Each structure stands twice: as structure tokens, then as C-alpha cells.
Amino acid sequence: MAYYRVNDHLYFSNAVSARDLDKLLYLKITCIINATQRQQSAQHPSIDFHRISVADSPQEDILKHLDRATNIIHETARKNGRTLVHCKSGVSRAATICIAYVMKYQNLSLREAHDVVRKARWAIRPNDGFWEQLLTYEKRLRHTNSVEFITIRSLRLPSVYRQEYSNMNQL
């Protein structure tokens, strides 16, 4: 089971980990945000449950859910609770919501928020559609963008991955 700690009140994981009630209680999780359409989460009277039904597809509109999700995380933290955000793999949807939260409530740029969440789990990778929506969200919050899409060897990707992909091309 893998749980990735963003800060004292925010974790994210995959769906399998989100069903481990003993571990959730051990971590003192008081709120679960399930960012899937079908995956199940642990249920317990002491844990608030919220489903944000989104597919991991570049065409999916996750932007319309970001304020609700980030506000739930913020309110849970305000009450000294802890939120677990999960999707199927803990790579795209859950990471997108965590990045949005860090941008909004820690007042960081998208690039900085991505770095914070990526320190918790190196393997995060929101899909390109979610990246576009995170750019829109950042523009709404900060009136500027800290990330852009770039092309490396005909591959279009967010500029936060420039160094990583440039190094791969040198191999």
C-alpha cells in the first residue's frame, strides 16, 4: 500500500490503498475524495466521503470540479482533519486535484505546486488535457502562467518535464 503525503493534512494514493481501512485510520484520514467513476473506497463513520466522478481522459472536464475539491480539502484541514485524494493509479486525477489545492491554498504557481506534489510521488503525470485545465486554473488564480507546452522531438509536453525529456534524448 502506498500513500503519498503532500503536507500534514493532504495525502493521495491509488484505489487499492484507499480501501485499506486500517491504514486510513492509522493515518487519521477524516475525508476521502474519490476521483474515479467506479473505484471503491473504504467506508467508515469517522470518514467523510466525496466522489468526483471523472475519467482519466484528456477530454474530461476536471476543471469544473477543482474548486469543490480544493474547498473540501481546505475545510477538512481547517477542522484539523486529513484528506486522502485517490484515483485508480494515483498518477493523474488525484495528482491534478492535489496540484490545484497547493496552487489555491498555498498560493504557489503551477510549476511550484507541481514540484511540491512531485516531491511526494515522483511518478505523477496528469494527462495533457488536465495540464491544459491546470493552466486555465492557474491563470484564473494568478493571472499568469508558469508552465507552457513545449515540443521536444515532436513530443508535446508541459515545460516542467523539459529537463527530464532532454536528458532522455541524450541517451
- Residues classed as catalytic: 87
Q: Measure the CA–CA gap between 52 and 164, rounded to whole angstroms.
A: 31
115 and 121 Cβ atoms separated by less than 8 Å = no
Task: Output Rg (C-alpha) for the chain, integer angstroms.
Answer: 16
Tell me the torsion sign for CA atoms 74, 52, 157, 135.
negative
Q: Which three cell numbers stand for residue 126?
A: 496528469
DSSP, collapsed to helix, strand or coil, labels residue 2 as coil
